[in-house]
Every structure is written in structure tokens, then in C-alpha cells.
Amino acid sequence: MFVTGHNAEDEKEPAPSAASIRDVAKAAGVSYQTVSRVINHHPNVSQKARDKVTAAMAELGYRPNRAARALANGMDRAVTVLTSNTNLFGYAETLGGIEVAARAAGVHVAIRVLPSDSPEDIAAAVDQVSDPRSGAVIVLAFDREGSQALEALPATVSWAGAAESWLGRQSSLAESPRLTWYDDTAAARTATEHLLDLGHRTVHHVAIPSSSPVGDRERGWKQALEAAGAPVPEVVQPHGWSIAGAYDAARELLLDPDVTAVLCGNDDQALGVIRAANDLGLKVPEDVSVVGFDDVPAAPYFTPALTTVRFDFAALGRRAFELLELGSGSTEERAPLASPALIVRESTGPAPQGRTAARTTPPPQHLRAAGAGAEPRHKEDR
């Protein structure tokens, strides 16, 4: 029976099942309550007892049972991220930031995707997630799905949200567990001013979906135009987040020779717009200037490299987690979120004297598939 080299208790290891605090207590010669106190760092435990318990835990390979703890506490140390998307850069990066903060605080991170913005799906997701016993909720409310979910959340659950700025300023939500956001409006204003400073008569806007009738970025864009006395063209609102939508819309938009500067809702759309310009025989930035939002990792490598507004989404996620106040209530004052920064690269330039006329050649073969552009394949291509 002396086969493998077990160091202690060779006699009987009947069940390799996990050890409980009572097993640890027995091994350490104390009561289970003392073990519980050691685990929870209660102050009133003698050093001697603490050492014995620690040793016993190590020897038995003790791991606290999360379910048991959650049951007794009536609450799990966990946070569920409610989001409509896992792919888009801003969403994925925010999720990553939440995970980092939660991991540091010893909090588990779960994820629940909102498959659509139908009221039933939203309600089902919110219902599933809003059991206070299974932890807190962070809603990624960058879009309609997210903000609907936010509004549907019952008051009984502890939540926080990363949102568009208009949502954050709504009095009804500005209270209580709280939201965090970037000032999209100011960022859009800055980007628009950059284009106006380059001499463009006005700036056109291709928008991403927003949860409000007038998105924050749209608001800032409009403010800058009005402040400069520039005409305010109609907003181009393709359906959804797809690049195809932006591409198709831009092919229409750029036919107009007055269009020399386009502010896009995000970098993906900007890529679509640049490509549309190319396909129409227009050069970026010589004929048309294009600005994006987000500064995706690929943006510096676009041709031309994209001028865009950088957001630190990871920091946004971390902040959202902090708002939950789960992390041992560290009152260390929070560093303010860095402001979004305009990164000027190659896709913006001086307004052309007279813009080249668009060549109305058909889109390239590979973009002609379903009549609307590329094959709808990814979730965001609705």
C-alpha cells in the first residue's frame, strides 16, 4: 500500500470530495465557527488558532463553497454584464475592463447577451438577471437594447451602467447606484470643429444607432455646426451597426459634390465611408475628410490612417464596476476618466478647392452580394 508518496494521512482518504469548514475544524482542533472567522478575517481570533486553521486548510486543500456562501449570505459575490453585443470593440473592451476590476476584487463575472431589442427578449433577460441573490448587474447601455434593459431593471437589484452621456444626465437615473459615461457630445463637437477648422463649409454625419432620438454624438456635431454658423445637413442614419449600411449610405451621400467632410459614428462606419469614397473615385482626404469614433486598434493602419476620437473603454468598465461598491468599499477617490481625445491621422485634410465629381461605377463584385453589401453574417449586420 506504500505506492505513491503521500506525505500524511496515508491510511484512509475515502472520498476525494472537497473539504468543508467542519473538516478543517476537526483537523485543526477548533470549532467550525473559528474556521469561518479565519476565512473572513475576523479580528478576534488568536494567532495560535489562526495558524492552526491556516495549516489545516492548506493541508486539506480547502476551497470555500461559493454556493453555500451565497446561500447563507443571501447574495453572491458576482456581477452579470448585460450587453447586446460581444464583438464590437467598445463593448468587448468595456467587458474586459469590468473583468479586470472584478477579478481584483474577487468578484465573479457572468455575461448575458440581449439577443434583440424586442420587449419580450429584454424582459426575459432583465428578469433572469435581476435576482438580487445572484449578484449585481452592469448594463452596457450604449444602444437601445441596453438602455431599455436599464429602464426595466427593478429597484431591488444592485446595478451600475456604462451609458451614453444623455442617459447619465437624466435626473431619474443620475441618482442611485449610478451610471458612468464619456462626454460624447463634447467629443463630437471637438471632432467637428477640427473639420471646420480645416476649412470645410460643413460636416455631414453618418450615425450609429443610439438609444435616444438624437444621439449624443449627433448633438455635439450639431452644436459645433451651429456655433460656427455652418449649415446643418440631414443626418444619415443607416440601419444598425453594420459597415455595409454605412458603405451603402455613403455611396448615396458622396454623390453630392458639396460633401467634403464626414463625421462617422464609429471607426467601422468610417472604414465603410472611406471605401465608398474610393469606389466612387474620390480620394481621402484630398476630396473628402473622414473622422471616426473609438480608435480601434486597426485605425492607424487603415489607408489612409483614420483620424478618430479615442475612448478608454477599459477604464469605463473599471469605473462601472467601482460604482457597484462591491470592492471592499475602498473610498480611495476615483481618478476621473480621461477625456476622449481626438487623434489626428491621415483621413482628414484641408477642404478641397473644388471637389472631384463622383464616378458612378457600380460597387465592386464582392460588395454586391445581397444587394445591400457584404453577406450578412455577423450579429451586428442587422
Partner DNA sequence: GCCATGTTTGTGACCGGTCACAATGCCGAG
Partner DNA sequence: CTCGGCATTGTGACCGGTCACAAACATGGC
Can you give the binding site for DNA, defined by CB under 7 A?
17-18, 20-22, 30-34, 36-37, 39-40, 43-46, 48-49, 62-65, 68-69, 71-74
Cα torsion 123, 128, 131, 136: sign: negative
Reduced to 3 states (helix: H, G, I; strand: E, B; else coil), residue 117 is coil
- On the 0-12 / 13-18 / 19+ scale of CB atoms within 10 A, 339 is middle
> How is residue 111 written as a grid cell?
455575461
Q: Is 198 in the site for a copy of itself (CB under 8 A)?
A: no
Reduced to 3 states (helix: H, G, I; strand: E, B; else coil), residue 307 is strand
Q: Which is nearer to a copy of itself, 216 or 294 (CB)?
A: 294
Q: Could you give the dihedral angle defined by the CA atoms of residues 132, 138, 143 and 144, in that order, rounded to the nearest 10 degrees?
A: 10
Query: Using only C-alpha atoms, what is the Rg of the chain?
Result: 27
Q: Is 278 in the site for a copy of itself (CB under 8 A)?
A: yes
260: CB partners within 8 A, 6+ apart: 200, 201, 287, 288, 289, 351, 352, 355
Q: Which of 293, 302, 311, 321 binds a copy of itself (CB under 8 A)?
A: 302
Name the binder of 49 from a copy of itself, DNA, none, CB < 5-8 A by kind.
DNA
Angle between helix axes 47-60 and 21-28 (nearest 10 degrees) is 120
- Give the x/- contact pattern for a copy of itself in 230-269, rule: CB under 8 A: ------------xx---x--------------------x-
Residue count at the site for a copy of itself (CB under 8 A)? 61
Contact 290, 66 (CB under 8 A): no
Which span sits near a copy of itself by CB under 8 A: 34-42, 82-90, 187-195, 352-360? 82-90
Q: Which is nearer to a copy of itself, 131 or 325 (CB)?
A: 131
Q: Which of 89, 159, 221, 321 binds a copy of itself (CB under 8 A)?
A: 89
- The residue ranges that bind a copy of itself (CB under 8 A) are 16, 18, 63, 65-68, 70-71, 76, 78, 86-87, 89, 92-93, 95-96, 99-100, 103, 108-113, 115, 131, 133-134, 156, 242-243, 247, 268, 271-272, 274-275, 278, 297-298, 300-303, 305, 343, 345-346, 364, 366-367, 373-374, 377-381
